[in-house]
Structure 1
């Protein structure tokens, strides 16, 4: 069984019930999530050995976050304990023409205050095949950029495949900061995952003839983005999610995988969204699983896009689907008829 390591912050997610706005809410639903935690959970659901590495406070709330992953089979044995608090974030789900909103409350979290040398990467990567992180982790500042650099260097020295989802978050750092740090990390990355906004915001790489606001997407423009990422940083593959936002409720969704020579596009799904947070992470999880499993480039991007399509129909961040469900959708079973 292949072993994947993911590294990042797990947080408490708080959202009003249903489609209530923040100012309406007198109670909040609690769940736990984070970019790399979401990927680890997807991979565990798909049957891989998935280990999540992080740091949480040594109290019941920190343990609740760990338990949320353990419940679904994620290995949390390398999660450190200590520090002052668990990061939180609030989600207001949008509908129709009203967009979703996310408010972070994560400054000074246990994970963000991690120090260089705390994580024993040689031990963590023992017998592992793949390492995954996102641009959110170095964006937390303090020692995090240096810790991520330690991790990717150790991963490459030990022969792991490294993947990174750029995941630019303007509320965490500036474009200049992101470009400086990610330009140091990307040369160690084999598989880069992004969307057009990430590539443009971090590296100034734009998809020509594309307008994500209107849903108009140019395939040639995205091929150009992937080629430039691979040429500039030496990545072997680049995957890009293709979202056409018709409204907060209805999106067109697909993906592209460039394997260094050719580009492969998935089918496009018309999604009526239940919860879109974690959609990109579910694409990443599906892509990692399919590449580890030896799928062809076309099969890999079809699996990743289908996995993420299904995630958009599930409340909260975790993608609670099986490989058979994803394969069925990728194979064309899109009717959503009741299974009896």
Structure 2
């Protein structure tokens, strides 16, 4: 048994670390200008994880950096009402980060515009935070590759907190979120992420993110047949390589979401203790939003391990949770454990 499955988490909380963002969602026709109204969502990859865990009954804490003003107070109150403990948030700096995403569009191309420069989180520097205090009572620490993509100093802060969490024996999970519009400060993702991955016990993403961020090559002809068996074989190879390169890592998860004219296919795989598991495959002709689906999958992994589920049960829960999120407008899921269990049973 690995430390992931045998460790007792019930005595501690899960801390999600990352930048809180406001998502502004104009429609692609410009009607928002005539209506003088713009949809706003409170988001950020790690906050989406924290929200799901709180909804599912896991003690959930959140570390971010915000300016000390009335807007931050309103946002923090909103997050608190989700059942997330925000008392460890750092207050300083001048602004909250924003991003614009055109309604109904993916996190790609011109539909996504970041406005995060000089945000309170982006201005964090090493040596400013008492990590022993922040990590008190925490048994699981989660972050994503979006954090070190913001700037060199945020990457340095990530390294600092990972070292502190690792020294305390806290389980650390990483989502290999790749955002091509970030990573603009002169470093390639591999240069940074290969310095952070050695501290992680759980790494989640997909085979292409592992190639971009960890330098693990993907077979060049994998798309020729589109066969699920070949994708899963590649996931196994990537997972084995990750655990070889980063021996602290005990669990690797890979998600697969394929969008086509006929709808969306979604499935996932999990590698743990030398065993490889695959999920059932879900298919939908249309969805509501792709935002936060991967975050929901990550939350599902944490939920499963936190509650002592088997690897196959954990994978099933995470996959169903991520699939269900495709039908939710907001950044974070609103589906309960019962909703997700029903999907597993009737998927």
Would you say 1:239 and 2:253 are equivalent positions?
yes
**Any unmatched runs of 5+ in structure 2?**
1-9
In the alignment, is the contact (CA less than 8 A) between 2:207 and 2:234 conserved in 1?
A: no
**For this pair of structures, how many residues does the alignment match?**
328
Match of 1:338 in 2: none
Match among 310, 333, 339 for residue 296 of structure 1: 310
Shift of 1:73: 0.3
**Separation in structure 1 between the aligned mates of residue 157 and residue 150 of structure 2, nearest angstrom:** 11
Distance in structure 1 (CA, Å) of the matches to 2:105 and 2:132: 46
The equivalences for 1:24-173 within 5 A come to: 24-26=31-33, 27-94=37-104, 101-173=111-183
Tell me the distance in 1 between the aligned counterparts of 2:239 and 2:29: 38
CA displacement 1:54-105 (0-9 Å, x = unmatched):
1111112222332232121000001111211111011113479x98822111
SS at match of 1:327: helix
The residue aligned with 2:263 is 250
CA contact (8 A) 1:41 1:72 kept: yes
Kindly state the Cα deviation for residue 205 of structure 1 after the two structures are TM-superposed: 2.1
The verdict on how the C-alpha distance between 1:300 and 1:284 changes in structure 2, with shifts beyond 3 A counting, is same
CA distance in structure 2 between the partners assigned to 1:76 and 1:270 by the alignment: 37
Q: Could you say what the CA RMSD is over the residues aligned between the two structures, in angstroms? A: 2.3
Cα 1:215–1:144 shift into 2, 3 Å: farther
Counterpart in 2 of 1:21? 28
CA distance, structure 2, for counterparts of residue 194 and residue 261 of structure 1: 18
Q: Structure 1 residues 179, 258: CA separation in 2 closer, same or farther (over 3 Å shift)?
A: same
Alpha-carbon displacement from aligned partner over 1:12-38 (angstroms, at most 9, x marks no partner) = 11112xxx3064431310111001111
1:309 to 299, 309, 323: 323
* Structure 2 Cα separation of the partners of residues 95 and 12 of structure 1: 17
Alpha-carbon distance change, 68 to 250 in structure 1, aligned in 2, over 3 angstroms: farther
* Equivalence for 2:203: 192
1:275 paired with 2:283, answer no
Mapped partners of 1:143, 1:176: distance in 2: 12
**1:129 match: secondary structure:** strand
* Contact 2:145/2:193 (8 A) holds in 1: yes
Deviation track 1:268-303 (CA, whole Å, cap 9, x = no partner) reads 111331111011000000111101111111111100
Give deviations 1:185-222, integer Å, cap 9, x for gaps.
11110000111221121123244353399686621011
1:262 Cα deviation from its structure 2 partner: 1.2
Q: Deviations over 1:142-198 (max 9, x none)?
A: 421111111111111111100001112111116952111111111110000111221
TM-score (norm 1): 0.90
How far apart are the structure 1 equivalents of 2:344 and 2:143? 26
Give the 3-state SS of the residue equivalent to 1:276 in structure 2: coil
> For 2:268, what is the secondary structure of its paired residue?
strand
Assess, with a 3 A threshold, how the Cα gap between structure 1 residues 148 and 95 changes in structure 2: closer, same or farther: closer
* Residues 103-159 of structure 1: per-residue CA shift (max 9 Å, x gap): 111111011001212222111111211000001101111421111111111111111
Distance 2:227 2:80 in 1: 38
TM-score, with length taken from structure 2? 0.89
| Residue segments in structure 1 that go unaligned for 5+ positions in a row | 335-340
Report the equivalent of 1:263.
276
CA contact (8 A) 1:213 1:245 kept: no
SS of alignment partner, residue 37 of structure 1: helix
* C-alpha distance in structure 2 between counterparts of 1:261 and 1:79, whole Å: 38
